[in-house]
Amino acid sequence: MHKGILFFIAAFSLAAADDSWKFAKSADGVTAYTRTVSTSSFKEYKVETEVDATLTQVVAMLMAVNDMPQWVDRCAEASILKEISPTESITRSVTASPFPLKNREAIAYGKLTQDPQTKIVTMTASGRPDYIPLDSKYERVTKLRGTWILEPKQGGKVHIKMIGHTDPGGVIPAAIANQFVVMIPFNTIKNLRTQIKKEKYVKAKLKYIRD
pLDDT tens digits along 21-31: 999 999 999 99
Q: Is residue 153 part of a domain?
A: yes
The Cα diameter of the chain in Å comes to 49
CATH number at residue 127: 3.30.530.20
Answer whether residue 168 shows pLDDT above 50. yes
Q: Is residue 90 part of a domain?
A: yes
User: 35 is in which domain, residue-wise?
Assistant: 18-202
| Number of residues that this document lists for the chain | 211
Q: What's the CA gap between 113 and 122, in Å, rounded? A: 5
Which of the given ranges, 13-17, 59-63, 166-170, has the highest pLDDT on average? 59-63
**pLDDT (0 to 100) of residue 141:** 92
pLDDT class of 4 with cuts at 50, 70, 90? very low
Counted domains in the chain: 1
The 3-state DSSP class for residue 37 equals: coil
Domain contains 9: no
d(CA 202, CA 211): 13
112 burial type by CB count under 10 A (0-12 exposed, 13-18 middle, 19+ buried): buried
pLDDT of amino acid 143: 85
Question: What phi and psi, each to the nearest 5 degrees, are found at residue 137?
Answer: -75, -20
Mean per-residue pLDDT, 117-133: 95
pLDDT tens sequence across 135-165: 999 999 988 878 899 999 999 999 999 998 8
